[in-house]
Amino acid sequence: MKEIIKEVIDFLNYKIPIGGKGIDITIKTILFLLIGIILVNLVLKYLKVLAKRKLEQEDKNKFDTIFSFSSWLAYIIVFSIVLSSAGVDLSAILVASSALLIGVGLALQTFFQDIISGVFIILDKSVHVGDIIEIDDKVGRVEEIKLRTTRAVTINNKVLVIPNHKYLTNSLYNWTQNGTTTRESVKVGVAYGSDVALVKKLLLQAAKEHPKVYSHPAPTVVFENFGDSALEFKLIFTLGDSFQALIPQSDIRFRINELFKEHNISIPFPQRDVHIIQKSE
């Protein structure tokens, strides 16, 4: 019996050399690592269920993202504690792999920027699933917020994958943070000499006739400028779904063109006078 116990102890104390002085792991250490990982996994699952009981569905999704990142940190801490308790010189491991760690660190720099940015986005609630955002001149409706990337769908039904670090380095426009309604506009120029009061009336008519334009707040017309070739107007109106603003804007432009033709209001094109000066010999 003693011989069996001795053989078991010798087996558990068998050292597996990894390389370098002070860098070796015993079978016992590996078993402790496995037990530690299993225990941490069970504790994390219990804490996750306990914490999610009273959360809203959207907050649950955000909690899952942050919790997954925290879980990795917990595993790393347990891994370090078990190895240190077993007498493994962690400094020797770090020194032996310093060159590799530097290379990996440089390669993963953007990766960790994305993760940290993702945590900030989730915690400060600057972007939610369903929001319409604009970044780098690209517009999309947010479908999913992950720890490293945000997935959005554009107006053309194309999937836009945004690395989360772009939220820290670029200006982000959230079209729907203050509500789904937005103020949109259509610009148009008319020829000099046109009846500006009639122009205003027709522009308002084109907006009010469209079924998707809100009556409150009412559409308005702004006389923007005396342009080089035209009197410049802006028609401003409110829509309930800014993500689909392109179609109503197009419809209103068609209607403006029809109304202008009916009332003999011309939309000028840029003109330039060219003077040719001939020098006498």
Task: Look at residue 48 and tell me if it is in a domain.
Answer: yes
Task: Look at residue 101 and tell me if it is in a domain.
Answer: no
Distances, alpha carbon 147 to alpha carbons 36, 122, 128, 172, 254, in Å = 26, 9, 13, 18, 44
Residue 98 has pLDDT above 90, yes or no: no
257 contacts: CB under 8 Å, gap ≥ 6: 267
Shared domain check, 168 and 128: yes
Task: Look at residue 110 and tell me if it is in a domain.
Answer: no
pLDDT, average across residues 152-164: 87
Q: What is the pLDDT of residue 266?
A: 92
Q: What is the mean pLDDT of the chain?
A: 79
Residue 119 structural domain: 115-174
Task: Look at residue 273 and tell me if it is in a domain.
Answer: no
Portion of the chain with pLDDT greater than 90, in percent: 24
Indicate if the alpha-carbon torsion angle 177, 183, 186, 187 is positive or negative. negative
Q: What is the pLDDT of residue 77?
A: 78
Shared domain check, 11 and 89: yes
Residue 20 has pLDDT above 60, yes or no: no
Shared domain check, 196 and 156: no
46-87: pLDDT as tens digits:
877 777 776 666 666 666 666 776 777 777 777 777 767 666
Q: What is the pLDDT of residue 149?
A: 86
Count of domains for the chain: 3
The pLDDT confidence band at residue 230, using thresholds 50, 70 and 90, is: very high
Residue 241 has pLDDT above 90, yes or no: no
Task: Look at residue 105 and tell me if it is in a domain.
Answer: no
Shared domain check, 27 and 10: yes
Nearest Cα neighbor of 214 from 192, 246, 182 is 182
43-56: pLDDT as tens digits:
888 877 777 776 66
Shared domain check, 92 and 7: yes
Residue 190 has pLDDT above 90, yes or no: yes
Amino acid at 182: T
Tokens of 222: 């702004």
pLDDT, average across residues 228-248: 88
Q: What is the pLDDT of residue 145?
A: 82
Residue 180 has pLDDT above 60, yes or no: yes
Q: What is the pLDDT of residue 67?
A: 73
Shared domain check, 239 and 204: yes
φ, ψ (nearest 5 deg) of residue 75: -65, -40
* 33 vs 16, more confident: 33
Q: What is the pLDDT of residue 272?
A: 66
- The upper half-sphere exposure of residue 175, i.e. CA atoms within 13 Å in the direction of its Cβ, equals 25
Portion of the chain with pLDDT greater than 70, in percent: 73
Cα dihedral 46, 48, 53, 56, rounded to 10, equals -170
For residues 167 and 121, the answer to whether their CB atoms sit within 8 Å is yes
246-281: pLDDT as tens digits:
889 999 999 999 999 999 999 887 766 676 777 665
User: How many Cβ atoms sit within 10 Å of the Cβ of residue 129?
Assistant: 16
113-144: pLDDT as tens digits:
777 777 777 777 778 888 888 888 888 888 88
Shared domain check, 119 and 189: no
Nearest Cα neighbor of 249 from 265, 235, 269 is 235
Q: What is the pLDDT of residue 213?
A: 93
